[in-house]
Amino acid sequence: MKLEVVSEIKNTGIMAIVRVKTKERAKEIAQACLDGGVNVLEISYTLPNAGEIIEFLKEEFKETMVIGAGTVLDSETARLAIMAGAQFIIAPNFKKEIAFSCNRYQIPYAPGCTTMTEMIEALEYGASYVKVFPVASHFGPSFIKTIKTPIPHMPLLSSGGVNIDNAEEWFNTGVECLGVGSLLTKGSYEEIKKNAASLVLSRDNIRKKD
C-alpha cells in the first residue's frame, strides 16, 4: 500500500491542500478536484475536525482518491490521522518520532525541510518525500533545480508559489509533486475544476517532453 500511495502521488503530481470546516464543502472541493484530474488531497490539521473530514472523504470517494493529513506536528496526531484513514502524513517540519510512527504503520511521510542537511536526514529516517517548505514559495522554481542538481533522486514535494501561469515552469524543475492551496480550494465547483484541469494540462505538457 505504501508504495502504491507514493507512486500515485508522483503520477498525479498535484496535491490539493485543503482547510475546510464542513463536510459538505470538503466533498464539493474533492469532487471538483477529481473531475479536473487531481485525485490527491491533503487535509490540514490546522482545523480540529481534520480527522472527521478524512474519515468522511475516504467513505465517500473510496479508492478514487488518495487522502492524507497535513500540518501534523507530533506522533500522537500522526497516529490519530492514520486511524482516521489518512494514507500519507505531511508536516511543515521534520520530526523523528513522526517518521518512526509512519514507518511502523507503513504510511508515507513528507516532512518540511529547508536545508540539504535536513532533507538528507529526513530520507535517512525513511521519508517518502521531502516537502520543500517554506522556502519554495520565496525562491521559486530555481530552488528546486538547485536541490536536484547535486541530488537528482531527491523526491520533492514543493508547497507554495504555484499559479496557472507558472505551473509549467515548476513542473519543468523535475519536482515530483506540487502542493496547491487556493487554486484548488477557493471559489465554486466549476472554478476549482477548471483550475485543476489547467494544472493537469501544464503537467502533461512538460511530461510529454521527457
Relative to beta strand 89-90, strand 14-18 is: unpaired
All cell numbers assigned to 135: 522556502
Q: One digit per residue, pLDDT tens: the chain, 210 residues?
A: 899 999 999 999 999 999 999 999 999 999 999 999 999 999 999 999 999 999 999 999 999 999 999 999 999 999 999 999 999 999 999 999 999 999 999 999 999 999 999 999 999 999 999 999 988 777 889 999 999 999 999 999 998 899 999 999 999 999 999 999 999 999 999 999 999 999 999 999 999 877
151 in Cβ contact with 121 (< 8 Å): no
Domain limits, the chain: 2-204
Q: What is the model's pLDDT at position 124? A: 97
Omega before 111 within 30 of 0, i.e. cis: no
Alpha-carbon span 159 to 85, nearest angstrom: 23
Alpha helices in the chain, H assignment, sequence order: 2-12, 23-36, 50-61, 75-83, 96-105, 116-124, 135-139, 141-148, 167-171, 189-207
Closest CA to 53 of 79, 75, 25, 31: 25
Q: What's residue 139's pLDDT?
A: 83
pTM for the structure as a whole: 0.96
pLDDT value, residue 136? 79
> Is residue 69 within 8 Å of 81, Cβ to Cβ?
yes
Under a CB-based contact definition with an 8 Å cutoff, are residues 158 and 170 in contact? yes
CATH topology of domain 2-204: TIM Barrel (3.20.20)
So what's the pLDDT on residue 138? 78
Instruction: Give the helix/strand (H/E) hosting 89.
Output: strand 89-90
